[in-house]
Structure 1
Amino acid sequence: MLAIFLKTLPFFLLIGTGWLAVRLRILPTEAAGWLTKFVFYFALSAMLFRFSSQLDLAQLFDPRFVAAYLSGSILIWTLGMVVAYRRGLALDEMAIEAQCCMIGNTGFLGVPMLLVLLGEPAVGPVLLVLSMDTIIFSSLITLVIGIGRQGRFRLSVIGPALRGVAANPMVVSMLAGLAWGWFNLPMPEALDEYLSILGAAATPGALFAIGASLTGIQLRRTGPALWLSFAKLFLHPLAVGIAALFIFRVEPFSAGVMIAAAALPVAGNVYILAQYFNVGVQRVSSAILISTAVSIVTIPVVIHWITQG
């Protein structure tokens, strides 16, 4: 267990370094946003394209894996909606809290960390989780908030959801990489080296950006934030774990990667959505801070459990 903790510690130290750099004013607060854009549009996209181009699409898609993750995640998403409804929140607030309960930081934290800790066999499962989060659930929250704002379902709410998916560089890079591999296109050595060098910046850049972005968060409305953090770090991996291992009988290693991805803290893109729609900003930012801090302890436990079979 100690060995796993020491392996995960450098990733969180990088997050801490980003936080300290902005806190000590070595870098300005705006640096977090620009670094995030660099990672999002360039470094992480290069990494995802390179990994995706080496995957066999037929082997990547596992219906049982998809069914297990979706069923467990939808259960927690629905639970988040119900809890918010019982507290008398509006539909858009219910949706943003439900999103907090099951959207983990797969892109910026999960891809770099899980691939290093669990090896190349984890690439396919991690990309499947990332695809479902960015395509299905990002579209879902946009639709629900649109319905809440307009009072009923209209075709006009579909456009923003589709545009959001189409403009997401992670989705575009993964699909482009899969298409490259599907058509068995040659990868020139110079292009492969370029993608490798640029993609290598994704891990330190993403983790540093996470830490830098946390400096602007102040803990307020900790009651809802604690509930959202608990749902994300404990209930979500529990739900997908039960679905994967006992209902859909997913292959054990892939199920473990799925559970590890579900155990990641609340994703920063939920905060971006909260800001964009101006809903639940404070509770979302607090949930990101709390869940990220607690995951320093919880993620090594999950990784230890996976590596022990």
Structure 2
Amino acid sequence: MLSVLLVTFPFFALVLCGYIATRAGALPTTAIGGLNTFVLYFALPCMLYRFGAGTPIAQLLDPAVAGVYLLCALLVVGATIALTRRGSIGWNDAAFGALVTAFPNTGFMGVPLLVALMGERSAGPVILVLTIDMVITSSLCIALSRLDGAGAHGVAVALRNAFKGMATNPMPWSIVLGGVASALQWRLPGPVDQTLAMLAGAASPVALFTIGAVLARSQMNQHERVPARLYVPLALAKLVLHPLLVWCVGRAAMALGAPLPPFALTVMVLVAALPSASNVALLVERFGAHGGRVARVILVSTALAFLSFSAAVVLLIE
């Protein structure tokens, strides 16, 4: 356990540094947008491209991994909405509650953390499940969030907006370009590759620091009191039930003869054990859902994940 904590501690410590810096006023909240832009449009796409280009194309297009993970994501979304959409919680809040429960922080935290723990061989499954969450899970929940105010027209508009957002997100495109480079065995010229390597090297520390800053900003902007029963169960479901579901479905698929490698299943379970994705808070602001509730799910899951994720690593790897 101690050896695992030695690996995971720096990742969560950087999140804490970003949180403290923002809460203390050392990092102005107006600067967080610039950090997000650097990570989202420069550093992280370079990291994803390099991992994609260096990963065999078969791992990036593994149907068994995609099928198991997508099924689990849909089950989490469906169950969360069914259990939480009652009383004052409508489709908008229920849908984003489901998204924050089903969407791990794979891009900002999962890629660098799992590569550090399991080596670059883990990048293929991580990138594949990240693509599923960005393209399918997010689009589905955004569409469901629009059911409160309109009929079929509202859902169609929401889907169009979701796919428009996906098209302008550089991360899926960097994954696609990396996959194409892998399939064609194509390498960038040396100076260009070195430039991308330098940007990719900055992705992990800046992204983790930015997570903490975003969490602090969300807390500072939300002054209303949110009952613990509205967010603690979602955080626990993210950290415990989601990875357990992925493990159970994966083992069942393997028992039925699905060509799912045990290593890939381990990677998927650890991805599911990550805390909730911090970018869900940005989507909530855009679509007018309950920001305080989602921000607290992200904060609680991130704080608890230091121990819960480390315990999952010990159970699955050591």
Normalised to the residue count of structure 2, the TM-score between the two structures is: 0.92
In structure 2, relative to structure 1, the CA distance for the partners of 1:17 and 1:62 (3 Å cut) is same
SS of structure 1 residue aligned to 2:149: helix
What is the one-letter code of the residue matched to 1:222? A
| 1:47-62 paired onto structure 2 within 5 Å | 47-62=47-62
Distance 2:97 2:59 in 1: 34
What is the one-letter code of the residue matched to 1:190? P
Deviations 1:219-273 (A, max 9, x none): 7332211011011111111111101122345211110110000011111111111
Contact 2:80 2:94 in 1 (8 A): yes
Structure 1 residue 96 displacement after superposition = 0.9
SS of structure 2 residue aligned to 1:216: helix
Unaligned runs of 5+ in 1: none
Structure 1 residue 45 displacement after superposition = 0.6
The aligned counterpart of 2:181 is: 180
Deviations 1:173-192 (A, max 9, x none): 11111122223333211111
Structure 1 residue 284 displacement after superposition = 0.1
Q: How many residues align?
A: 308
Range that drifts further, 149-158 or 123-132: 149-158
Range that drifts further, 208-217 or 229-238: 208-217
Contact 2:49 2:175 in 1 (8 A): yes
Distance 1:232 1:304 in 2: 18
Structure 1 residue 156 displacement after superposition = 3.4
Structure 1 residue 25 displacement after superposition = 2.0
Contact 1:229 1:287 in 2 (8 A): yes
Structure 1 residue 21 displacement after superposition = 1.8
The aligned counterpart of 1:123 is: 123
Distance 1:58 1:294 in 2: 34
The aligned counterpart of 1:157 is: 158
Unaligned runs of 5+ in 2: 220-224
**Alignment partner of 1:289 is 2:299:** yes
The aligned counterpart of 1:268 is: 278
Q: CA RMSD in A?
A: 1.6
Contact 2:102 2:238 in 1 (8 A): yes
| 1:99-248 paired onto structure 2 within 5 Å | 99-153=99-153, 155-218=156-219, 220-248=226-254
Deviations 1:271-303 (A, max 9, x none): 111100111211000111111000011011111
Range that drifts further, 22-31 or 269-278: 22-31
**Alignment partner of 1:305 is 2:315:** yes
Structure 1 residue 73 displacement after superposition = 1.6
Structure 1 residue 88 displacement after superposition = 5.0
Contact 1:92 1:149 in 2 (8 A): no
Distance 2:93 2:242 in 1: 19
Deviations 1:183-231 (A, max 9, x none): 3333211111111111000010001111112222437332211011011
Contact 1:131 1:171 in 2 (8 A): yes
